Amino acid sequence: MTPKQRYYELAASGIIKNLAKRQIEGYYCADRQAAVKQALALLPKGASVGWGGSQTLGQLGLMEALEAGGYELIDRGTARTPQEQQAMKARLFTCDAFLMSTNAITLDGLLINIDAYGSRVAYLCHGPGMVLVFAGMNKMAPDLDAGIKRARNLAAPPNNLRLDTGNPCTHTGFCNDCLSRGTICCQFVVTRYNAIPGRLKVILVGEELGY
């Protein structure tokens, strides 16, 4: 085990203890293969599963494992019309499990997310019976202020570049606190407690994943 791997393991142990105080289940997996195995152990066989936009999920290879595992997948990307898209969004509120990443997680267990339309954080806050949040250990932040700065300056600019928004951060490389019509930083959500026992689970992964 390298010093960095040991550091991730120690830091994750502290975060998981603080998540427990917030009635959030926490798990640590040393790598993405272990994270997929842990996720499959938490998801009931045949469960209906949806997900929000996430580079982390793609890097994990979890979707391929779900397809092979016989789960009912609710993929908004397959919608062909606005009506089908809307119907799928409605289905996600009643799905068995929703998968997502987080833009930052603090050492004391806060989850920090920025969204454009709120369609990702909406399911985090309400609806699906279970929410699995995956976070590479690069998403760690010391506290709330640092977590917000991380989300705005390390997560948002590459997402803007990926989406080719043309927002100021795609030219400067950092958040300009813009009010551009195309801004994707519309909703800031901080999750500090899980009101429904067993609903919210966080899987920390000892790798750098996502933005």
Please give the pLDDT value at position 31.
Answer: 97
In a domain, 45, yes or no: yes
Please give the pLDDT value at position 15.
Answer: 98
* Percent over 70 (pLDDT), the chain: 100
In a domain, 74, yes or no: yes
In a domain, 174, yes or no: no
Domain total in the chain:
1
In a domain, 88, yes or no: yes
Please give the pLDDT value at position 20.
Answer: 98
Mapping DSSP to helix (H, G, I), strand (E, B) and coil, where does residue 158 land? helix
Q: What is the longest distance spanned by two Cα atoms in the chain?
A: 51
User: What pLDDT digit, counting tens, does each position of 2-28 carry?
Assistant: 999 999 999 999 999 999 999 999 999
What is the domain extent for residue 55? 3-109+116-142+195-205
In a domain, 59, yes or no: yes
In a domain, 97, yes or no: yes
In a domain, 156, yes or no: no
| Structure token digits, residue 10 | 């120690």
| Structure token digits, residue 24 | 């959030």
In a domain, 187, yes or no: no
User: What pLDDT digit, counting tens, does each position of 98-150 carry?
Assistant: 999 999 999 999 999 999 999 899 999 999 999 999 999 999 999 999 999 99
- Count CB-CB contacts under 10 A for residue 79: 14
* CATH code for position 38: 3.40.50
